[in-house]
Structure 1
Amino acid sequence: MSTFVVFDLEFTSWPGALEEDWSGPGQLREIVQIGALRLREDFSIVEEYEVLVRPVANPKLSAFFTDLTGIKQEAVDQNGLPPAAALGDFLGFCQDQTVLSYGNDMVVLGENVGWARFRGEEIKNSILSADFLNIRPWLNTHAPKTAAANSGRLWQALGLPQPMAGKEHSALFDCYSIAAALRHLCGAGATLPEGCL
């Protein structure tokens, strides 16, 4: 049975950064957490993936980011991987898979790969070894009430049970929320876009 990956990122942020598209001085979208699920065609979970990443340009997390995600500075300092190591490991998890995100997370992933390479760091595994797809337009078309929901609130927008313990803006929780939404819509007769499986 073939598999595919759903992933989500948490990246550095500050008050107003989203509204201003991270255009403030020094506001880079540096990845701090990667979450992913490898799923079978029936949406059963094969494997979970979760890692913390130490940002380089902004190593001190903003209070805004910590309040939003619950990710504490101490956790990143003690358990976070260097960006190149985390990115290479995650790209290995995604190799030869279709990889779905709810939004432009693949763009942020590409930015972080580019910055690491610019710093002269080697990244094992290529971003080109997987097929990345933004599933948000498909999902919003099949369930218009999800259009205003972030990835961690999709389960609520669709009236589904909470998919796991936790809360939105935790990358792995958000993956479970995306997977629950996909399972629900496909169970109601929708078909994932061609090439997803």
Structure 2
Amino acid sequence: MPTFVVFDLEFTTWRGALENDWAAPGQLREIVQIGALRISEDHTVVDAYEALVRPVVHPELSPYFTDLTGIRQEEVDRDGLPPAEAFGGFLTFCHGQTVLSYGNDMVVLGENTGWARARGEEITPGFLGAAFLNLRPWVNTVAPVTESANVGRLWKVLGLPKPVAGEEHSALFDCYSFAAAIRHLCSTGATLPEGCL
């Protein structure tokens, strides 16, 4: 049965960073959490991937990031993987799939894999095993009410039941919110863009 992957990232941030596109000196979008779901063509979740990642340039999380995501420093210190290991695990999970995000998270993933490789870390497999696509324009066109919503709020603005326990800005919860939105929109007659399956 054909499948596709939806994914979401949480990455280092500070108050005002989003509005300034992380342009302040020293601000990098280092990945701290990866969430992904493998979805079948009937929109059933068939597998999940989740990892905490230890940032290298800013190993100490900002209070703003912790308040936003609920991810605590002690969790990252205890359970966080080295970046290359987490990225390799995620890319293995995605191998041979179309990988959908709600926004340009693939750009952040590309930045982070580039930094890891520049530090001499080996990441396998490479990007060639997966096709990444930003599905936000499709979602916003099919359901204009979603235009100002982040991925973790899609279920709410579409009037859907909460997909799983948790809160927005947790990567895996955000994936479930995204998957619920896709399932709902397809059930109302919308067709995913070509190449998603």
Q: Which residue of 2 aligns with 1:119?
A: 119
Deviation at 1:129, TM superposition (A): 1.2
In structure 2, the partner of 1:128 is 128
Post-superposition CA distance 1:117-161 (Å, at most 9, x none): 000100010112100000000000000000000000000110000
Match of 2:158 in 1: 158
Aligned to 1:43: 43
For 2:168 and 2:45, locate their aligned partners in 1 and report how far apart those are by CA, in whole Å.
19
Q: 2: distance between equivalents of 1:182 and 1:14? A: 30
Q: Aligned pair 1:34/2:65, yes or no?
A: no
SS in 1 for 2:22: coil
Provide the residue aligned with 1:11 in structure 2: 11
- In structure 2, the partner of 1:81 is 81
Unaligned runs of 5+ residues in structure 2 are: none
1:25 aligned residue? 25
Distance in 1 (alpha carbons) for counterparts of 2:48 and 2:130: 17
Query: How far is the alpha carbon of 1:102 from its aligned partner?
Result: 0.1
SS at match of 1:64: helix
Deviation string 1:46-67 (CA, Å, 9 cap, x unpaired) is 1011000000000000000000
* TM-score where L is the length of structure 2: 0.99
Identity fraction in percent: 73
Q: What do the CA deviations read for 1:33-86 (whole angstroms, capped 9, x no partner)?
A: 000000000110110110000000000000000000000000000000000010
Structure 1 residue 113, shift from structure 2 partner: 0.4
Q: Which residue of 2 aligns with 1:194?
A: 194
Tell me, what secondary structure is at the counterpart of 1:110?
helix
CA distance in 1: counterparts of 2:108 and 2:39, whole angstroms: 22
C-alpha distance after superposition, 1:160-180 (max 9, x if no partner): 000000000000000000000
List aligned pairs for 1:62-77, cutoff 5 A: 62-77=62-77
What displacement does 1:99 show? 0.2
CA RMSD of superposed structures (Å)? 0.4
Moved over 4 A (4+): none
Q: Counterparts of 1:84 and 1:26 in 2: how far apart (Å)? A: 21
TM superposition score normalised by structure 1? 0.99
